[in-house]
Structure 1
Amino acid sequence: MKNSIKIFLGATLMILFSCSEDLLQRDPISSFSAQGFYQTSSDAQAGVYGIYDAVQATFSINFAYWGEGRADAVNTNQAGDPFLLQQNTLNSILASARWNNIYETISRANYAIKYVPTVFEGDSEFGIQLVAQARALRALSYFYAVRVWGDVPLILEPYESIQQDIFPTRTSKELVLNQIEADLLFASANCRANFGGQRDRILITKGGADAMLTHLYMWKKDYASAIQSAERVMNNNLYSLVTINDWSRIFTQGYTNESIFEIGYNEVQRNSLRILYALGSDSNFFPSVSFRNAFEEGDLRRDLIYDVTETQPRKIWKYFGQGFSDESPEPSDKNIVMFRLADIILLKAEAHHQLGETIEALQLLNIIRTRAGLPNLDIQGAIDLYGDVESAILHERLIELSFEGHRWFDLVRTGKAIEVMNPINGLNDEANLLWPIHEDALNRNPSLVQNSFYQ
C-alpha cells in the first residue's frame, strides 16, 4: 500500500462531520459536541486529518473540471460536465457547479480552528501548527470557491447553535480574498518547515503556504508580494527541479523534490484520474489539436504528456507513464499534484515581467525551457515566437503544467480567457467566466442570488 495519509477517523469523528455534508442545508443545532470530541492531542490531529480527507473528495475530479474543462488544452467526446464545459453551456444543474465538498472542507476546518486550541495548555507549538494547517486548507478551499463562483458565503465559525445565521448571504470576493491572505500568512508563519519523508509533500508545510500565497498574490495582481512569497519557496531546501529524465515521476510516483503540495491517495482513498484522462476514447478529456500544435520542435515533454503514436491521440498519460495502455475504469491511487516548483518559478517570472523586470523574467522562463530541451529566449525571440514575453511565459505554463488544473485560471487571471476561448466556444462575456451556483444551493438557502449571467 502506498505510504500516503492513512485517515481513519473512527465512528465518533464521522459523527462530527456528518452534519456538514451540505453546509448550506444544516440542522440548526449539531447533534454532536465538537468540544466533547476534542479532548486529546490525538483527537486534535485526527480532526485536522479529517480536513485532508475532505480535500481528497473535493478535488478528486473537480481539480480538472474547474481548472482544465473550460480551457483550450482539452477536448471531449463525453456528455455531462465535460461537454457542457467545453461548449461553454454551463447550467445550474452542472455537477461541477456544486460547492458541497468545498464547504464540507471549510466546515471541518472551522471546527478544528475553534477547538484544537482548547486541547492544549498555553501556546502549544503543536497546537498552533495544527491550526495553521487547518487555516491553510480553509484558505485553499475559499480560493477555489472565489475563482469558480466569485462572491461566496464567508463562514468562519462552526455551526453549533440555533442562534447562528443558517442562511448566509454571499460575501464580496475582495473580503474573501483578504481572509484567504490572512489564513495563509498565519500558515506561512506557523506551519512546520517539514515533517520528514513523504509527509513533506502531502501535508501543508511553510513552503506549501508560501506557494498558495504566490498564487493568491498573482490573482490579486500584487506582483511584488508574489515575488517575495515565491522567493521563500525557491530558497526552501525542500524543493528542487527534477531532471527531465525524472519529470514523469512527479506525477506517476509522486513525492519528488519538485512537489510542494500534492493530495495523497492510496488504495482506499482514490480519485478520478483514470476517468479524466486514461480511458482513451472513453475518457473525459483528450489533448486538443491546438494543444498538440503548441509544442516547439524538440520539446522533450511532448511524448511524456500524451500518446504521440496516435493520429488523433485519446490518451493523456502524464499521470500514468509513457506507453500506458491500461484502460480500466477503476479509480486511481495516483496523487494529484496541486503545487510544484516549476509552477512557482513561472509565476515569479510573470510577476517580474509585470513589474518591468523582463531580464529577470526571461532568466526564470529559460530555467524551465532548458530542462525541456528548448533554447533560451531573449526578448526578440519571445516576440518572434509568441508576440511578447508575457505570452511566452503563459505558453510555457500551458505546456509545463498541462492537465494539472491551472490553465483555465491562468486564462482568467491574465485576462485572456475570452480572447483564447471565443473562437472555440463563443465565450464573449466577462460575467460568463464564473460558474453558476447549483440550483440545490439556491433552493436550500433563500439568501443566495444566482450569478448574473445565469439568471
Structure 2
Amino acid sequence: MKLNIKYTGKILLVALVVLGTGCKKFLEEKDPSNLTPETYYTIPEHGEAAIAAAYAQTRFIGNGAGIFVANFSMLEMVTGTARTETGQNSDLNNLLGLSFNGENLLVRNWWAGLYNVIAQTNLVIEKVPAINPMDATRKAQILGEARFLRAWAYFYLVRLYGDVPLITTPQTATSPDFYPTRTGTELVYKQITDDLTAAEEAGLPWQDASGRVSKGAVKSLLSKVYLTMAGQPLNKGAAYYKLAADKSLEVMTSSGYGLFPSYADLHSLSQENKGEHIFQIQYLATVSGNPMQQLLLPNFKNVSAYSDEMGSTVPTTKFYQSFEAGDLRAKDREGFFYTSYYTGGNGELKALNAPYIFKHFDVVANGTLGTAGTTQSDLNWPQIRFAEVLLTYAEAQNRADGTPNIAAYEALNKIRRRALIPELSGLSQTAFEEAVWRERWHELCYEGITWFDMVRLRKVYNESTNGFDNFVGHAFAESPSTVLAEKHLLFPLPSVEIKNNPNLRPQNLGY
C-alpha cells in the first residue's frame, strides 16, 4: 500500500500563506470558506491534511537541481563511489571534484528542503493538540509522526552543516527569532533524541504498510542517531554504542521485519513499506511520481521506455569491482547492479560495458523483456532498511562490549548469507568492526548513507586495499587528484542564507 498524499497538503500551505491576513467581506458577511490560521486546524481532517503536507515535503530529495540532476545525487558524488556520465551540470561536477562552495545549488536545496519539512512539522506539533473533538489516539499518532519527521530533518541538517538554527515553533516575519543564530551540535542532537523518544510513546503501530511512520521506524532512526553520536564529532563512545545496540535489537526482535529473500524485492512495488523496508519516501505516479529513474539510467544507451536517459549518477567501476568474488549483489540484474539490459527496455539484450544501479530500478516504468515500460514510476525511495538495523547492531554491540557476541555475528552473517559469500567467525574486535564497515559500504551503497559513515568514522573504504584510509588525505580511486580535506567533514552553509541572515555567520571552516 501507499500513503496517498494528495494535494490537500499543498492547498493547506497555500491557504495559510495567501489567506492568512483575511479580507474585507461584502456587507461584512463572514465567509466560512475563508481559511486563516485561526479558522484552520479546527477539525480532524485538518490535522490529517497537515501531516500529509509534512510527508510531501520529504520528496525534496528527488526534486531537480538544475539540468540532469536531482538533490539525492549530492550525497553520492562526494563518496568516491559514484560518477556522472553527463557534464552539463557544473554544480554536480563541483561536488564530484570536491570543489563546491556555498553557491552550489544542491547544497542550497538540501538546506531549504529540510527546513521546509521542519516548518510544516512545527505547525502540526503546535496546532493539532487544540483540535477538538478529535480521536485522542489518532491525535497522538499524528504528533508522533510529526516529531519523527522533524527529527529526521534535523538529523540530516546537523550531519551536513554542523551547528544549525534550531527552530521548533512556527515562524512569521514578526517572530523574535525570525533571523536565528546557529545552535550547537549537541543541543540539536538533544532535540532529535527528545523528538524520537516522544514519538516512541505516541501509540504508533510497529509497522505501517501505508507508508506512514511506524514505531519500528522511530526506533530504527533512534539507533542510527545513537550510533552517530557515539562517533564523530560528539565522540560519546561506549555508552552511546550501547544505546544504539539496545535500540536496534528492539527492532530485530520485533515481529514483521526481516531481510527479503531476493534483492529484486528491494525495488518491487508489491513489497513497499513492508518486510525490509522500514521507512521510505512515498511516490505515486498519479500524485507525484518517482523522478529519479531517468537520472540513474545509462547516458542515452536506449535501455528504457524513457526517452531522456541521463546517466547523472552511476557507480564507479572500482567500487563495483570491490565486491567479493561470487557476491550476488554484484551479479548482473540480480543484485544491486546491471551491466546489460534490453534494447528500448523490452527488446534484445545488450551489453553496456559499465555497471549501473539496479537497486532502485523500476522494472515496470523502464520495461523488461517483452513488456514495454510505462514511464510512470510509483517506486518509493528507501530511507531505513532492516539490513541497516542489523549492521548498526553488529557495529554498536562490538564497540560497546569490546568483542562481538553471537547475535552480532548472526546480524552480520545474515547480510553475507543473502549475498552468497562466506560467513565470518573468530575475528578480533578490530577485524570484526572493519568487516561490518565493509558490509555497510557494499550493502547500503547509493542510499545516501555512505557519506555519513565516512564523517562519523573519519574513515573511507579503499577499494584497492580492501581496508580503510583516514578521511583526511583519502584520494578517490578513479580520480587520484581528488583528495578529501578536513573542510569536507561539513558542507558549507548556502551563501544566499548567510546573505539573508547575517546571524548565521561564520561560514563553516574552509569555505
The one-letter code of the counterpart of 2:403 is: E
Answering whether residue 475 of structure 2 is matched by residue 423 of structure 1, we say: yes
CA offsets, 1:52-108, max 9 Å, x none?
011122455766334322112211233333322221111111122111111111000
The CA distance in 2 between the partners of 1:447 and 1:375, in whole Å, is: 54
The CA distance in 2 between the partners of 1:170 and 1:322, in whole Å, is: 44
Gaps of 5+ in 2: 23-34, 65-69, 231-239, 301-309, 341-350, 461-468
- Indicate the structure with greater strand content: 2
Alpha carbons of structure 1 residues 241 and 225: separation in structure 2 relative to 1, 3 Å: same
CA offsets, 1:367-399, max 9 Å, x none?
11011111111245x89xxx8222211111111
What does 1:20-59 align with in structure 2 at a 5 Å threshold?
A: 33-58=36-61
Gaps of 5+ in 1: 20-28
The CA distance in 2 between the partners of 1:104 and 1:46, in whole Å, is: 16
The CA distance in 1 between the partners of 2:173 and 2:339, in whole Å, is: 58
Aligned twin of 1:229: 247
| Corresponding residue to 1:68 among 72, 76, 80 | 76
Provide the TM-score with structure 2 as the length reference: 0.78
| Corresponding residue to 1:249 among 240, 254, 265 | 265
Aligned twin of 1:316: 357
Aligned twin of 2:101: 91
State the SS of the aligned residue for 1:453.
Answer: coil
The one-letter code of the counterpart of 1:292 is: Y
The CA distance in 2 between the partners of 1:12 and 1:159, in whole Å, is: 19
Aligned twin of 1:376: 423
The one-letter code of the counterpart of 1:392 is: A
Is the Cα contact below 8 Å between 2:339 and 2:355 reproduced in 1? no
The CA distance in 2 between the partners of 1:341 and 1:307, in whole Å, is: 23
Is the Cα contact below 8 Å between 1:251 and 1:337 reproduced in 2? no
Answering whether residue 281 of structure 2 is matched by residue 263 of structure 1, we say: yes
The CA distance in 1 between the partners of 2:299 and 2:255, in whole Å, is: 39
State the 1:329 CA deviation.
12
The CA distance in 2 between the partners of 1:272 and 1:17, in whole Å, is: 28
Q: Percent identity?
A: 28
Is the Cα contact below 8 Å between 2:9 and 2:49 reproduced in 1? no
Aligned twin of 1:289: 317
Aligned twin of 1:81: 91
CA offsets, 1:156-187, max 9 Å, x none?
00014614221001111110011000000111
The CA distance in 2 between the partners of 1:18 and 1:429, in whole Å, is: 43
The one-letter code of the counterpart of 1:432 is: H
The one-letter code of the counterpart of 2:292 is: L
Aligned twin of 1:335: 380
CA offsets, 1:277-323, max 9 Å, x none?
12436311211122112111111121222223457415312212689
Is the Cα contact below 8 Å between 1:66 and 1:408 reproduced in 2? no
Answering whether residue 445 of structure 2 is matched by residue 399 of structure 1, we say: no
Alpha carbons of structure 1 residues 308 and 335: separation in structure 2 relative to 1, 3 Å: same
The one-letter code of the counterpart of 2:290 is: N
| Corresponding residue to 2:256 among 238, 242, 250 | 238
The one-letter code of the counterpart of 1:251 is: H
- Indicate the structure with greater helix content: 1
Moved more, 128-137 or 391-400: 391-400
| Corresponding residue to 1:134 among 146, 153, 166 | 146
The CA distance in 2 between the partners of 1:348 and 1:30, in whole Å, is: 51
Root mean square deviation of aligned Cα = 2.9
What does 1:175-214 align with in structure 2 at a 5 Å threshold?
A: 175-194=187-206, 198-199=209-210, 202-214=211-223
State the 1:139 CA deviation.
0.4
Is the Cα contact below 8 Å between 2:263 and 2:336 reproduced in 1? no
Aligned twin of 1:22: none
The CA distance in 2 between the partners of 1:295 and 1:357, in whole Å, is: 26
Aligned twin of 2:181: 169
The CA distance in 1 between the partners of 2:357 and 2:11, in whole Å, is: 41
Q: Greater relative contact order (Cα 8 A, min sep 6): structure 1 or 2?
A: 1
- For the pair shown, the structure with the greater C-alpha radius of gyration is 2
